[in-house]
Amino acid sequence: MRRMFDPADVETLALGAGVLGTGGGGDPRVGALALRRELSVNGPPWLIDVDDVADSAFVVTVAMGGAPIVGLEKLLSDTFADVSVRRLERYLGRSVDAVVPLEIGGVNSLLPFMVGSRIKVPVIDGDGMGRAFPTLDKTTFSIFGLPASPLATSNEHGDGAIVECAANDRAEQVSRSILVDLGAACSSALFPMSGQDLKRTAVRRTVSLALSVGRAMRDARRAGRRPVDAIVEAVQACVPGTFAKPLFSGKVTDVERRITGGFNVGRGRLAGIEGFRGDAEFSFQNEYTRFAVDGRLTAVVPDLICLLDTATGDPVTCETLRYGQRVHVLGLSCAPALRSAKGLIACGPGAFGLPERYVPIEELNP
């Protein structure tokens, strides 16, 4: 299906993508402000389904990379969204036919719409994760064998580079070092692919899922319902069979974060509230990676761990979480591709240095 993106849905998409971003992907409020400005100048792009893309089409993913906490200190420049795409087009000598989000989280769900608006190409209803992850090799594109490079990365001043590497983990390392030198918050255009490859590798209709989650949250607020309950209903309606359940409600009693190698890394603790007892602990690397209650594991990557403010229902990103904040913790099962043998090598606990083996969230919370 092909439909024009409605500018009235900017905040709705930002809300839903903030939840699916599992604490990462950049603050969606920053992205919403930049996207509203872009749409007011250049108009909205088309949103199209994966199956509507021609097999021969030239598609690239777009994303903002680096430490999300740095992104809070920088406003997105007018050309930030498309400068990397243009750089990659010049390098490859071919114009892009469509763009697709690298991940459905935070700013990175909104940046493709900024690109689509500026260069007049459609945005694809899908992504490469079904959530957010901190590195480009943790994608279904990479899991299914697509090369990430050549990739282009650029900062807000237009400074940038082209990276070519044989392996995606090496492309991540090289581009990450360049990204840090460019200011630790850059736009990227990567995974140049055909429409045929897109159909084989993408997680489908995740933009539509984010919009459904955002609408459910908005309607719940108006009706005086808890947004966390509305999110569960929306996810299960859009993707039947998905595990979706509140895991805990707690008050932040400790949070520690630092920027290491271009990542926002840390951990925190919660004390139970609203009928939940005990103490919970969690860790993050740009996104929440592990959650346990009284020492018992209740969720771990690649399944989704989402924190929501109990007062507003807003998603709480890793860089904005603060002492004393009260949050609901929501658990969602991940896209099936991430649970494959190759998916767990790329995205499972071991990929983040966690000691646990992966156990599906529905088995941890029967």
Domain CATH number, residue 193:
3.40.1610.10
Contact 188, 63 (CB under 8 A): yes
Q: What is the pLDDT of residues 331-345, one digit of tens each?
A: 999 999 999 999 999
Last residue of a domain, one of 180, 204, 228: 204
The strand order across the sheet containing 46-48 reads 2-4, 46-48, 123-124, 98-101, 58-66, 185-194, 151-154, 160-163
Examine the fold and report which residue of 204, 222, 254 is the final residue of a domain before the chain moves on: 204
- What percent of the chain is helix, strand and coil (3-state, nearest 5)? 35, 30, 35
pLDDT truncated to tens, each residue of the chain (366 aa)? 789 999 999 999 999 999 999 998 777 777 888 899 999 999 999 999 999 999 999 999 999 876 555 555 565 667 778 999 999 999 999 999 999 999 998 889 999 999 999 999 999 999 999 999 988 999 999 999 999 999 999 988 889 999 999 999 999 889 888 877 777 678 899 999 999 999 999 999 999 999 999 999 999 999 999 999 999 999 999 999 999 999 999 999 999 988 777 678 899 999 999 999 999 999 999 899 999 999 999 999 999 999 999 988 899 988 889 999 999 999 999 999 999 999 999 999 999 999 999 999 999 998
What six digits make up the tokens of 160? Answer: 């940038």
**Number of Cβ atoms within 10 Å of the Cβ of 169:** 16
Question: Does residue 33 sit in the same domain as residue 139?
Answer: yes
Nearest to 15, CA basis, from 209, 211, 206, 208: 211
Measured over the CA atoms of residue 175, residue 150, residue 27 and residue 156, the dihedral's sign is positive
User: CA dist 64 to 49, 135, 200, 265, 348, Å?
Assistant: 23, 11, 24, 17, 22
Domain check: are 49 and 125 in the same one?
Answer: yes
**Which residue type is seen at 252?**
V
Per-residue tokens: 327? 């949050």
Q: What is the pTM of this model?
A: 0.93
Q: What is the CATH number of the domain that holds 254?
A: 2.40.390
Residue 233 within any structural domain of the chain:
no
Burial of 269 (0-12, 13-18, 19+ CB in 10 A): middle
- Identify the domain containing residue 312 by its residue range: 241-364
User: Within this chain, do residues 70 and 12 fall inside the same structural domain, yes or no?
Assistant: yes
Q: What is the pLDDT of residues 99-108, one digit of tens each?
A: 999 999 888 9
